[in-house]
Amino acid sequence: MVAPPALGQTGANPGYLPADKQGFGTARSIESPVWFTLGRGGMTETFYPDLSTPASRRLDFVVTDGRAFVQRLSDVRVRTEQDRLSYRQIANGRGWTATVTYVTDPARASVMIDFELRSHRPLRGHVLYEPTLSAKGVDDQGKSVGDALVASDGTAASALVAEPPFFATSTGNLRNLQQTGQLKIDGVRDRNAVVILSYGDNEQNALTTARASAQQRFADVRRSYVEGWNDYLRGLKTPASAQRAIYETSVLVLAASEDKRNRGAFIASPSEPWAFGTNQEVSPTPGPYHLVWPRDLYQIATALIAAGDVAAANRTVDHIIGVQQPDGHFPQNNTVSGRPYWTSIQLDESALPIVLAWQLDRRDTKTVAMVRRAADFIIGYEQDGFSAPWSQQERWENQSGYSPGTIAATIAGLVCAADMVERSGDAATAQRYRSIADDWAARVESWTVTSNGPHSPQPYYLRLTKDGQPNQGTAYNPGDNYPGTVDQRTQVDPSFLELVRLGVKSPQDATIRNTIDVVDRVLGETTPVGQFWHRFTNDGFGERPDGGPWDIGKGRTYGRLWPIFAGERGEYELLAGKAHAAKVRLRAMAATANDSMMLPEQVWDREAPFGRRPGTPTTSATPLVWTHAQYVRLAWSIDAGKPVEQPGVVAERYLK
């Protein structure tokens, strides 16, 4: 096999591979603490021992005749098929076809890969593996041990074996550790090999695990893997409104996103888009998508409740209780083990766990204490001369101010908290929470609705106000490479619909309806697969005009369209009596899936670069677990005729 030239210095952190994953899988069993992702032609990042810790960057297959050509599967056209998070990739190269099937061993920390090569003349097959143990990769050491390849960084280890055993192995450094194994196949008479990548806390344990998995027939392991997920689905319900394959995949993605060591900890995505995966100055390891976010956790848990996995939703509350900070707030995000990562205050992330606890009817002492501390933090929050419901950040992470979406969450959180503490016997505190919630509900328009903005002569909600003065042209920079400042009256965002979905405002409210018209004109686009929306005016979190990756300070970038807003709009439309429109939204969300039914964070807009089509996935985080959760929840909401997540105690207070 011809080796490529060395790239850079040994020990450099190689970063992550592109975020638009074609697959994400793990066994249902907790005995298999390993996860894998797939790119367009091979396995990309794996995770071990938990979902905040990438353990490898790439495992690719290479086909060569030993003389005239060398082709990686990632360099040729590949089709990906999915069945219960088991994946098959079919690659067609120069006179050859390879079929690669991926699962994990339900009994062990092993990824098992069946590789079949078919050709009319003898060829060689190789495996190229790049470990990044303990999420770093800068200190990995590797070697051959007999017919196996092992790597270690002193904390974790990997072992790569094949059945039949590798014909030859080698280890080298091309910027980072790379290991290769030649398979005993020729594509003519010998066509199949099984490759096993296993992990452990040291080389011997990893190698022992790999040898044990190698003793199993791949067909038996795959059958057990698929049956594990079938058993899970049999214990749940299926909505009539959803496309069954997309729905079931979405439920499985939700379940697979839960860490197995730290139950209740669900990550945002197994991918790291753009600079988050490649620029250590922007995002030191781990990146933010491999973390637990209270807001995403709320979306995931409410979808799981709707799907029938109430036990998993309860585990999310247990996790939340465990990461609550001494002052009562929750980390902006944290590793699956509970270590806070980013530390800004987002009041919706302190409020939504309260709403979730109420939805689960949690009455135990620990939960009520958590709710009380979170509610007290919200009402007492002060910073930079402002007090709640002003927040250091709103749900898009990069602006302080008065956000209608954040205020909706805090109102709902306080009303739910009041109900919970009152049932525990504290009527006085309940009254205090309700009084503050009522005050904020009465004042939300004075903080966030402009009557002299440029988009409409009638009042409309803004993305946020920096100062609670919506008729003032206060200027700020939207962030994400926007070159100047904007008048806050020009900035809108679909997040105002949280006021309706959480039961604070009526869907028939005149300002709500007018803002929908404004948002549709300013942020909405109709693609070949349906209508979608940008996050907010001048959003820069997305690719460059040519499709290149988002990074900070390296040129203008543009946020694209987010499928989650189709789901949120569908929930609003159910409340507005437009059930058919909600069904259209559900179909549009399903249409954004890639071939293996992964749903993306963003899809291309009308400014898609050459070769890309509007309404298809961008290079953003895929799968985004929030998108899958929103699909599940909208499907059940359509079946129910109303949003299943709306807290009844809030709607009864403000809409009756």
Per-residue pLDDT, 11: 56
Mean pLDDT score across all residues of the chain: 96
Residues in the chain: 656
Per-residue pLDDT, 563: 99
Find where tokens 């049956």 sit: 227
What is the average pLDDT across 623-645? Answer: 99
> Which residues on neighbouring strands pair with residue 334, listed in sequence order?
292, 340
3-state helix, strand, coil in the chain (%, to 5): 35, 20, 45
The angle, 0 to 180 degrees and rounded to 10, between the axes of the packed helices 347-359 and 404-423 is: 40
Measured between alpha carbons, how far is 191 from 179 in angstroms, rounded to an integer? Answer: 22
Domain 232-654 CATH (choose: 3.40.50.2300, 3.40.50.2000, 3.30.70.1520, 1.50.10.10): 1.50.10.10
Q: Read off the tokens for 127.
A: 């495996």
Per-residue pLDDT, 15: 85
120: which DSSP letter? S
pLDDT value at 115 more than 90: yes
Q: What percent of the chain stands above pLDDT 70?
A: 98
What is the average pLDDT across 507-515? Answer: 99
Measured between alpha carbons, how far is 475 from 383 in angstroms, rounded to an integer? Answer: 20
Q: Read off the tokens for 597.
A: 């039914």
Tell me the H-state helices in 424-509: 427-448, 498-501
pTM: 0.97
Q: Read off the tokens for 519.
A: 């948002």
Peptide bond into 643 cis (omega under 30): no
pLDDT value at 564 more than 50: yes
Q: Read off the tokens for 576.
A: 């507005």
Active site residue 543: no
Per-residue pLDDT, 5: 28
Alpha-carbon torsion, ordered 401, 385, 296, 132, to 10 deg: 110
Measured in degrees and rounded to the nearest 5, phi and psi for residue 557 equal: -130, 165
Closest by CA to 632, choosing from 615, 644, 648, 617, is 644
Measured between alpha carbons, how far is 110 from 372 in angstroms, rounded to an integer? Answer: 43
**Who contacts 515 (Cβ-Cβ below 8 Å, separation ≥6)?**
460, 461, 492, 496
Per-residue pLDDT, 606: 97
Measured between alpha carbons, how far is 372 from 30 in angstroms, rounded to an integer? Answer: 33
Contact at 8 Å (CB) between 108 and 130? no
Per-residue pLDDT, 137: 83
Closest by CA to 536, choosing from 490, 483, 485, 476, is 490
pLDDT value at 435 more than 90: yes
Q: What CATH number has the domain spanning 23-206?
A: 2.70.98.10
Active site residue 397: yes
Peptide bond into 623 cis (omega under 30): yes
Measured in degrees and rounded to the nearest 5, phi and psi for residue 290 equal: -85, 20
Find where tokens 């291309």 sit: 604
- Per DSSP, the chain holds a count of helices (H) and strands (E) of 16, 24
Q: Read off the tokens for 92.
A: 């067609």
Least confident among 33-42, 222-231, 285-294, 474-483: 285-294
Provide the 10 A C-beta neighbour count for residue 342: 15
CA 257 to chain centre: 8
Per-residue pLDDT, 12: 62
**Who contacts 305 (Cβ-Cβ below 8 Å, separation ≥6)?**
313, 359, 360, 644
pLDDT value at 313 more than 90: yes
Per-residue pLDDT, 8: 27
Closest by CA to 392, choosing from 309, 466, 486, 321, is 466
Q: What sign for the dihedral angle of Cα 348, 480, 521, 586?
A: negative
First to last CA, the chain: 73
Measured between alpha carbons, how far is 52 from 318 in angstroms, rounded to an integer? Answer: 18
Query: How many CA atoms, within 13 angstroms, populate the side-chain half-sphere of residue 60?
Result: 19
Measured between alpha carbons, how far is 111 from 25 in angstroms, rounded to an integer? Answer: 10
Of 81, 116, 397, 422, which residue is the catalytic one? 397
Find where tokens 């300002």 sit: 511
Per-residue pLDDT, 280: 83
Closest by CA to 314, choosing from 349, 381, 362, 248, is 362
What is the average pLDDT across 58-69? Answer: 94
Measured between alpha carbons, how far is 500 from 423 in angstroms, rounded to an integer? Answer: 26
Of 45, 248, 394, 645, which residue is the catalytic one? 394
Measured in degrees and rounded to the nearest 5, phi and psi for residue 254 equal: -60, -50
Closest by CA to 643, choosing from 475, 477, 501, 431, is 501
Find where tokens 């409340």 sit: 575
What is the average pLDDT across 445-449? Answer: 99
Provide the 10 A C-beta neighbour count for residue 483: 8
- How confident is the model over 532-551, as pLDDT tens digits? 999 999 999 999 999 999 99
Provide the 10 A C-beta neighbour count for residue 156: 23
3-state secondary structure 406-422: HHHHHHHHHHHHHHHHH
Residues spanned by CATH 1.50.10.10 within the chain? Answer: 232-654
CA 119 to chain centre: 39
Residues spanned by CATH 2.70.98.10 within the chain? Answer: 23-206
- How confident is the model over 279-312, as pLDDT tens digits? 888 887 778 999 999 999 999 999 999 999 999 9
